[in-house]
Structure 1
Amino acid sequence: MSRNRSRTVIIAAGLLVLFPMTAASCDDEAPGVRLGTATLGTVDEIVEAPGTVVARTAATLTAPAAGTLTDLLVEPGEKVAEGDVLAVIHSPELERRRDAAKKALDQAPSGGGVPTGTSGFTAVRERTDKQAGKAFEQAAEAADQIADPELKKALKRQVDAAREQYAAASEAAGAAVRSVQRGVASLSRAVGALSAAQRLQTEQAYELADAAVDALTLRAPVAGVVQLGGTAPAAPSSLSGLLESGGQLPQSAGAAGAAGVDTTIPEGGFVAAGAPVLTVVDTSRLGLSAEVDETDVLLVETGVKARVELDAAPGATYAATVRSTDLLPTTSARGGVSYRVRLDLAAGSYAGTEEAAPAPRPGMSAVIRLSVRQATSAVTVPASAVLSKDGQDTVWIVDDGRYRAAGVRLGVQGEDTVQVLSGVDAGQQIVVGGADRVEAGAEVR
């Protein structure tokens, strides 16, 4: 049947009654023609698709600055909770910047230590603006060392916000000085405004420098299992939820190194800015990513059940449920269009036994059979009995000892068995093989 697709398979619970090919039966059939009977049964339509086991989250922590991995507090394969400290990096450059910012903060004026003349005010303001600009540039440089674009953007937003706050304070100080020059404000007001601007500048410089140093303590952004280094190129990490509360600056994701090169960093080893240190993989809820052909995807709905087989676990079958289907397509290397279907993966077992199947690992190849439709108590015929005649699905039936073409409307269908909604009744004798040798009105011999 030409309209059946190779990806779709039918499992039918119901017997197809075929006349045995004995010498007596051959007397009633044309040469090469086989007869059978339409039956009642249950038909499941299965859409088969290739897929991959995926972890719901895999977050790679990278070094925000060059330094030394002084403490590696976990072992590969160890389970960690969200927020656990996993490693500490020592970066003399960032720590030096923080110490200098702390010293400047301690020396910042708090209402005094500013000039009394307006020309002195202008000079101090210019010097403070220059110091603030340098501090913001250093913070922006630290942000540029973050490898992940989203995390880099978050730190730069923090720098931009500090820059805007300081600009407003500096402008307020300038306005106060201009008011003194025009004789419409007191000198104490200008002193207070300039002191506030100086204090804000040093506080922001220290907070940004401290955030950069705090980022050297790598914490688990999610609960999961630790592996050293980054993720493989074929399995990009998901970094949602890495922005943590409490002032902890999140880490960025890193990529794997060149093939044949061990990119894991030992304790005490040098680490370059942006180098992946370790990855936390959340394996508590494994899923599947399936590629469903465009000709089948409209049959796949949320909640559809599936059976899964893994290349790595021959003989084992796993259960799965469709969670979502992507709206936008993907294009295969051969030019075909498919849609990514995401499924939740459950435990598996070996057929005919109570033995539990092994837990899959992310990245394993899978064959996914989605039960997209089912017809119960349905009239079924073999797919070989259906042919297209003048654009109409047709089945040859035996009527009063002669062959007659009956137009049919199909329901659930596949390679082996199809559901007939109209045109053929259960128990009716039909041609199940050699339909191309049958002529309308010919007598069944």
Structure 2
Amino acid sequence: MKTLIKNGTVYQNGKLLKNDLLLEDDKITLLGTDLSDVACDQVIDAQNKLVAPGLVDVHVHYREPGFTHKETIKTGSLAAAHGGYTTVCAMPNLDPVPDTPEKVSELVALNKQDGVVNIKQYGAITKGLKSDQLLDYAGMKASGAFAFSNDGCGVQTAGTMYQAMLAAKKLGVALVAHVEDNSLLFGGVMNAGKRAKELGLPGILGISESSQIARDLLLAKETGVHYHVCHVSTKESVELVRLAKAHGINVTCEVSPHHLLLNEEDIPANDGFYKMNPPLRANEDQQALIAGILDGTIDMIATDHAPHSIDEKTGDMRTSAFGITGSETAFALLYTRLVKQEKILTLAQLLDLMAKNPAEKFNFAAGVLYAGATADIAIFDLENEFELKEEYYFSKGKNTPFTGQKVYGETYMTLVNGKVAYQKED
């Protein structure tokens, strides 16, 4: 099967070029300025559109098994394709938790069966995520786990984290940390700051995040593991990672779109749709995150796509669930705000943060377009404004405060392994 993508603006090797792409089955076989004479079975006209590497998200929650009223592998991966993602990494906070080789193997098979994008699976760091019991990491890696994480739960004991890092280092895989010291939470539901006081809500201290990062960075220095920090949200966290990189510690980190786009002052009321973990921080934290992506301290953008049912997100922040969806809104929101409107980032920088960098840091064969590469491709319409609507979402989760916003950067088509995984209806 030969497919020609013609007339598009192609992002390749850091440049935007007027090129055509020829695909043969699941591979890109040729890039050139005019390939219209090449015989092919299918033609995709990308006139006035951006042809980009498929986006890579190292942090999603698909809720299956155990919580399928929130999301399934099928709906979550459809949402990813709808957002231009072709590779995603699924977190292990499930029921049962993938904390044995057998459970990992079953979940990897289910991901392959039901997923419409490439799904890479995390194994747990400890038994059930909340214990100090270490696991058969070698067995889980052999069964398909590409890295280990307890996302949703910080590893509370330094000795446990140290031993897990040693094991991950030995296997040559990343240790991916949700950083949160439970003893410093004090029942908080949003950032401990001015807005929490105004709303009369208990706050989450920023030091609950940064203090555990400080601990883990010293452990990472000692063990040499690839230590990756999930969803950094405070200025202290950014500075700690910056300092660690300067000292040669093997650390990478991610930031979520909502922490770049919002801060605590944007929370209009006691509204569960604005409850997320880590919470929206102060304006100075938001500015530090933006500075961190500009100077390379923060390596990538990851959505932390965390779907919930409407009942779980409606009402008081004290009782609603933590989490916000992101797969279907991330690129459009970030392109509109940071590239088109505020000109904080170039389009090339945004694409690197959302495709090339995460693939490079985790050694995925993804995130770039070249002859011989797998045909994982996203085509975006950057010209026409559209509105984010609930009926627009494929995810079961509608829990995002961005619904109703008018944005640019709608996904026109997503191809995974050369096959159309999503196409906008005419």
Q: With structure 2 as the length reference, what TM-score do the two structures score?
A: 0.22
**Larger relative contact order, structure 1 or 2 (CA cutoff 8 Å, min sep 6):** 1
Q: More helix per residue: 1 or 2? A: 2
Larger gyration radius, structure 1 or structure 2: 1
Larger strand fraction of residues: 1
